[in-house]
Amino acid sequence: MGDSTNIIVGTAGKAYSAPVGSTFPLGPEVPWGASFGDMGFVTPDGLEEALAEERTQLDAWGEDAPVIDLAKKRTQTFKLTFRETTAGLLSLYYQVQQAKMTATAAATGKKQFVSFGTGSLADTVEIALGLDVIMSGKLHRIMIARAGVTDRGAIKHSADDSSNYELTFTALAAPGGAQSVQHFITDVTLPEVDGG
């Protein structure tokens, strides 16, 4: 019989970014370290997580079904739409290092502004990405050691909605051979393993 307490509803969440190589928390309720910064408001669409796989099947003479099914590549993606316009999100959307952005201070009668150019394929912006999904009293923490933006939605400037940044992050190979993606999920028990 089913158990309704196992049903997950992601009612809220947060996204955090840090430099690649930053140390992740050691549990789902451990605070994020000082190197992780809040990426701001996310639209009510929440987080869309996807796992795609490329597989190779090996056949054998006289067999009518594959004898080996090998995973060649697994690609994990995480899609979020952010509402705020910040230097960090501009950097990720336009693939411009923040060090290459120029800040001009406010002057009498003039507002402060940031400026940058785009178009260089040499610029690659990668981050360590942390995600907290809060759901029905449970917490699902996802930690991506190295992530890059591999897809972007169009930015719409209109009176109907905020100018949002729809970003799809792809988990990349982690530095030093570490796990590329780690999950912590509270209130999920493993079945007992029969040692006999």
pLDDT number for residue 89: 97
What are the 10-residue block averages of pLDDT along the chain, 196 residues in total? 81 95 95 97 95 92 93 92 96 94 95 90 91 89 96 94 96 88 92 77
Here the tokens at position 138 are: 């449970």
pLDDT number for residue 196: 58
Q: What is the domain partition of the chain in residue ranges?
A: 8-185
Report d(CA 34, CA 182) in Å as an integer: 19
* 90: enclosing H helix or E strand: helix 87-94
CATH architecture classification, 8-185: Roll (2.30)
pLDDT number for residue 154: 96
pLDDT number for residue 31: 96
Cα torsion through 79, 150, 143, 183, rounded to 10: 60
Contact 61, 139 (CB under 8 A): no
